[in-house]
């Protein structure tokens, strides 16, 4: 692997951070209007993929303690965005599910973010958008590679 010049690496890091700072405000306003935190949203998005996860599975996925998950989910339960239910096969286990309102919130967030990002991306010429898509795919692959080697936390 070729060594990346430090100045180029710094430029890429700055550009990435600036891009997120431009794109994230739409999501941040939505989170704020709902009184949600990033960790709570992460739980909700994971439940979209894996509805019925246990608090232990959520804790493991996010590298936190089960008591941290309990604190995060308590507020989501109070907001009626998730529900806790006993496992039908093992009543010692509790499973966490998105409520219909929780699914609606996740859907609204995805739709707002997608619409905003689409508006931005449509300003790029097709050939630059193709290049951006290819580079982002490479970035994703590099991130997955780093994760599989245990580089990320």
| Residue 52 or 32, more confident | 52
Q: What is the pLDDT of residues 75-124, one digit of tens each?
A: 999 999 999 999 888 888 899 999 999 999 999 888 888 888 899 899 99
Distant-in-sequence, close-in-space partners of 52: CB < 8 Å, separation ≥ 6: 95, 96, 97
Q: How confident is the model at residue 152 (pLDDT cuts 50, 70, 90)?
A: low
Instruction: Pick the closest to residue 56 from 45, 64, 48 (CA basis).
Output: 64
Name, in order, each residue with C-beta under 8 angstroms of 84's C-beta and a sequence gap of 6 or more: 73, 77, 94, 95, 96, 97
- Give the domain ranges of the chain: 10-148
Burial (CB < 10 A; 0-12, 13-18, 19+), residue 13, is exposed
Mean pLDDT of the chain: 89
pLDDT tens, position by position, 62-81: 999 989 999 999 999 999 99
Assigned CATH class of 10-148? mainly alpha
């Amino acid at each position: 692997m070729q060594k990346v010049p430090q100045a180029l690496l710094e430029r890429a890091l700055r550009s990435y951070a600036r891009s997120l700072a431009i794109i994230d405000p739409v999501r941040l306003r939505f989170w704020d209007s709902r009184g949600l935190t990033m960790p709570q949203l992460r739980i909700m998005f994971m439940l979209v993929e894996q509805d019925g996860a246990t608090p232990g599975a959520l804790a493991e996925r996010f590298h936190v303690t089960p008591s941290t998950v309990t604190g995060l989910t308590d507020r989501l339960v109070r907001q009626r965005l998730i529900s806790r239910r006993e496992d039908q096969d093992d009543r010692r286990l509790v499973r966490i599910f998105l409520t219909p309102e929780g699914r609606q919130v996740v859907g609204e967030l995805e739709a707002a973010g997608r619409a905003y990002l689409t508006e931005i991306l449509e300003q790029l010429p097709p050939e630059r958008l193709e290049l951006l898509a290819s580079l982002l795919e490479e970035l994703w692959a590099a991130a997955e590679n780093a994760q599989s080697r245990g580089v990320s936390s």
